[in-house]
């Protein structure tokens, strides 16, 4: 067992165009999903795995002609240059009323894309239930105080979208008491002490990272 906090299997998984997952947890989400939505070029990674994409969403500039022909009936072009392909895929899901979403394949490759994708979780969380699963752990955006399932010794990091947000905690090795996370490193490298921990704040958004057990 890699971890004991795996979420209920969602109906919808968005596959971003980062590194294709290799860890059993994100792969399990992909294999059990009812709807797989690909961000543009990520179909190149999904093709040949035996898994079927319901839709391929983006500006479609990363797909070769052969793949485009093969999936011509599933291509949904969104030319909006003010958003990235992950946001376009989330927006497509919202329009389809798919509101229980796990994002995989959103890390790796370019670090600037990884940081941008993680930060966008706070925006998506205002409209959908969403987590991002990488090959090392799970990112959960929270918009209000919340208790999260965990296990003793689990590595936990917190990232505040608004550096003025005062954050408190219980159930962590290094407790926070109305602490402002003025820099990205400030809330990292913490540790759960039991089977849950609580993050408390009055306003803003916090992204919680929980590392897999193994």
Rounded mean pLDDT, 37-46: 93
pLDDT at 3 over 50: no
Interval 112-167: pLDDT, tens: 989 999 999 999 999 999 999 999 999 999 999 999 999 999 999 999 999 999 99
**Under 8 Å CB-to-CB from 23, ≥6 apart: which residues?**
2, 134, 135, 136, 212
Residue 10: predicted pLDDT: 72
Give 2's pLDDT tier (boundaries 50, 70, 90): very low
| DSSP one-letter code for 192 | B
Residues 4, 203, 172: CA angle, nearest 5 degrees:
35
Topology match between the domains 12-136 and 143-211: no
Interval 26-37: pLDDT, tens: 999 999 999 999
CATH placement of domain 12-136:
3.40.50.10240
| DSSP one-letter code for 16 | -
Superfamily covering domain 143-211 = Thiamin pyrophosphokinase, thiamin-binding domain (2.60.120.320)
Q: Tell me the domain boundaries of the chain.
A: 12-136, 143-211
Residue 205: predicted pLDDT: 97
Residue 4: predicted pLDDT: 42
Residue 1: predicted pLDDT: 37
Residue 79: predicted pLDDT: 85
């Amino acid at each position: 067992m890699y971890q004991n906090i795996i979420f209920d299997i969602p109906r919808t998984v968005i596959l971003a165009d980062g590194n294709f997952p290799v860890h059993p947890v994100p792969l399990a989400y992909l294999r059990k999903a009812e709807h797989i939505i690909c961000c543009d070029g990520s179909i190149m990674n999904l093709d040949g795995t035996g898994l079927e994409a319901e839709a391929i969403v983006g500006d479609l500039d990363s797909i070769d002609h052969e793949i485009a022909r093969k999936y011509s009936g599933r291509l949904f072009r969104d030319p909006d240059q003010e958003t990235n392909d992950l946001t376009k895929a989330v927006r497509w899901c919202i329009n389809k009323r798919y509101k229980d979403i796990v994002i995989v394949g959103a890390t790796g490759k370019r670090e600037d894309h990884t940081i941008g994708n993680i930060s966008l979780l706070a925006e998506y969380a205002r409209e959908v239930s969403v987590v991002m699963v990488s090959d090392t752990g799970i990112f959960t955006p929270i918009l209000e105080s919340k208790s999260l399932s965990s296990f003793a010794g689990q590595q936990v990091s917190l990232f505040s979208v608004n550096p003025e947000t005062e954050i408190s905690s219980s159930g962590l090795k290094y407790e926070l008491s109305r602490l402002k996370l003025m820099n990205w490193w400030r809330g990292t490298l913490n540790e759960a002490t039991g089977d849950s921990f609580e993050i408390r704040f009055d306003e803003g958004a916090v992204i919680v990272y929980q590392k897999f057990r193994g």
